[in-house]
Amino acid sequence: MTAVASPAVPGGTAARPPRLTCGRGALISVVVLVVLAAAPLFLAPFATTTLTRVLVFALFAVSLDLLVGVTGLPSLGHAGYLGAGAYAAGWVSINVTAEAPVPLLVGAAVGALAAALTGWVTVRSAGVFFLMLTLAIGETLQQVADSWESVTGGANGLTGVPLVRLAGTPLANVGYTYWYVLAVGALGFALVAVLVRSPWGAALRGIRDNEPRMRALGYPTSLYKYVVFVVAGGVAGIAGSLLVAQQRLVTPADLGFLTSSFALLAVVIGGAGSLWGACLGAALVIVIRDALGPSLDGHGTLVLGVVFVLVVYLLPRGAAGLRPRRRRENA
């Protein structure tokens, strides 16, 4: 081997500052937010209600994407935490107060608590075992909701949830409810986006791509997976409290396998790992299921199945894969 150049000593200086934010991305976010905020001014009440459901489901899909796309933990029972948050927010609205942000905080806390109680065992499994465990937990929570009649209303669901109140004023108009859901949903989305872009989020992506390597770097990966499971449960709980604010009713079906699988469908269609993709996927799912489904003689689920198959074959990276990939710099 020939002589090598003398290397610099470690601990040197002059590092280029890290990239701060993507200006174009921020601009697009603002435009989308403005368009969404203005939507109720132009839409009919039914369309506004559908859009509200899209926003709720989008936040739920984003919370699932934190597990599936970012950390590589494919869950089939995530609706359990959505439902836990929805029931808790609904119950507190009926029995204590419907004044925001109390139902919201209670929903988030109960969603996170349910995830904390079930996650410690779950995150120690992987692959198909994780899938089956989460499915079992989701089904168990649904059974609890179905049978704990005195609190949940049993099979009839929790009915008579009052309107959310903001500074003492009930949000009686669908437009007001929509703006409330939009504001909370946007904050929830921003919270998850910040987490994903933080070093903690990079660690989660490292776990997804190669967990043994993360452990060899000194990261207690089980703890990281547990924390993200609880955070995802908390965000799903927030989505649950928005769900009950919108439909003023929670039923055991909201915790069920079908809800979890629709969310997973939204994440895959949008492109696992892309938060925007999860939102687009959620919009597609809700529009086909709730808006187009009735005019298709209830065959909305069938259409979703066809869309899913097409996406898997034609867009393996989901809708997010349509975005041009970042080119190599200084090649």
Partner 1 sequence: MTFLQVRGLVSGYDRSTVLNAVDLDLDSGATLGLLGRNGAGKSTLVLTLAGLVSPTSGSVTVGGVELAGKRPDQIARAGVALVPQGRRVWATLTVGEHLTLAAGRRTGTWTVDGILDLLPRLRERRRQYAGQLSGGEQQMLAVARALLTNPRLVLLDEPSDGLAPAIVEQIGAVITTMRAEGVAVLLVEQDLHLAFACADEIAVMEKGALVHRVPTPQFRRDPETAGRLLGVS
Give me the residues that bind partner 1 (CB under 8 A), please: 1-2, 4-16, 18-19, 199, 202-203, 205-206, 209-210, 212-221, 273, 326, 328-330
240 with 233: CB under 8 angstroms? Answer: no
Nearest to 206 by CA among 192, 193, 220, 191: 220
d(CA 225, CA 104): 24
Q: Which is nearer to partner 1, 149 or 209 (CB)?
A: 209
d(CA 90, CA 96): 10
Residues in the chain: 331
Whole-angstrom distance, CA of residue 39 vs CA of residue 88: 30
Q: What are the residues facing 158 on neighbouring strands?
A: 250
CA-atom Rg of the chain in angstroms: 21
| CB neighbours of residue 193 within 10 Å | 16
Task: Please report, for residues 86, 87, 153, 241, the alpha-carbon distance to residue 92 in angstroms, rounded to integers and kept in the order given.
Answer: 10, 8, 14, 10
- Report the residue number, 32 or 217, with the smaller CB distance to partner 1: 217
Q: How far is the CB of 6 from partner 1 (least distance, A)?
A: 8
Neighbours of 126 (CB within 10 A): 13
**Helix, strand or coil for residue 247?**
helix
3-state secondary structure of 191: helix
> Shortest Cβ distance from residue 211 to partner 1 (Å)?
10
* Nearest distance, CB of residue 213 and partner 1, angstroms: 5
| Nearest distance in Å: CB 320, partner 1 | 12
**221 vs 241, beta carbon nearer partner 1:** 221
Q: How far apart are CA 302 and CA 274, in angstroms?
A: 25
Of 40 and 69, which has the nearer Cβ to partner 1? 69
